C-alpha cells in the first residue's frame, strides 16, 4: 500500500529541509491519493517541473514507491510551468503542488527509469 499523499508530502518537505532547501505546499490536494507535482524553482526565472510517472513504470516488487518524470529535459520559464500547473489542476482538482527553491536544481525525487 502506498503512503497517503499528505504523509508523503510532509516527509518530502522534511527531506528538503534537512538538505537546506526551502520547500512549501502551494496547493493541498486529496489527502489520501492526490497526484503530487513538484516545482523546483532555480531562482532565476526558470524552474523544473516533476510530474507523477505513468503507472506502467511501477514494479510489482515496489508498488509503494512514488516515481516522477521531468516535464521537460531542461528548465523552463516560470510562466510556462505555471500554465502547465493550471491545466493540471483543471484536469485533476485533487492534485498537490509542492514548490522548492534551489539554485542547483536539487529535487530529491526518485525518477522513473526510461
**Domain segments of the chain as ranges:** 5-101
The superfamily CATH assigns to domain 5-101 is Protein of unknown function (DUF1491) (3.40.1530.20)
Q: Name the percent of the chain lying above pLDDT 90.
A: 77
Predicted model pTM: 0.90
91, pLDDT greater than 60: yes
What digits encode the pLDDT tens for the residues 12-68?
Answer: 999 999 999 999 999 999 998 889 999 999 999 999 999 998 865 555 555 557 899
- Distance separating alpha carbons of residues 114 and 100, to the nearest angstrom: 25
Higher pLDDT, 41 or 113: 41
Residue 74: partners with Cβ closer than 8 Å, 6 or more residues away: none
pLDDT score, position 56: 56
* CB of 107 closer than 8 Å to CB of 38: yes
Number of CB atoms found within 10 A of residue 96's CB: 23
Amino acid at each position: 500500500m502506498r503512503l497517503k499523499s499528505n504523509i508523503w508530502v510532509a516527509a518530502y518537505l522534511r527531506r528538503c529541509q534537512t538538505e537546506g532547501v526551502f520547500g512549501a505546499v502551494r496547493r493541498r490536494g486529496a489527502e489520501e491519493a492526490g497526484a503530487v507535482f513538484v516545482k523546483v524553482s532555480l531562482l532565476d526565472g526558470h524552474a523544473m517541473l516533476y510530474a507523477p510517472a505513468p503507472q506502467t513504470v511501477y514494479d510489482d516488487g515496489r508498488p509503494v514507491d512514488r516515481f516522477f518524470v521531468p516535464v521537460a529535459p531542461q528548465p523552463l520559464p516560470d510562466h510556462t510551468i505555471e500554465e502547465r500547473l493550471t491545466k493540471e489542476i483543471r484536469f485533476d482538482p485533487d492534485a498537490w503542488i509542492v514548490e522548492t527553491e534551489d539554485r542547483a536544481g536539487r529535487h530529491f525525487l526518485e525518477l522513473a527509469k526510461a
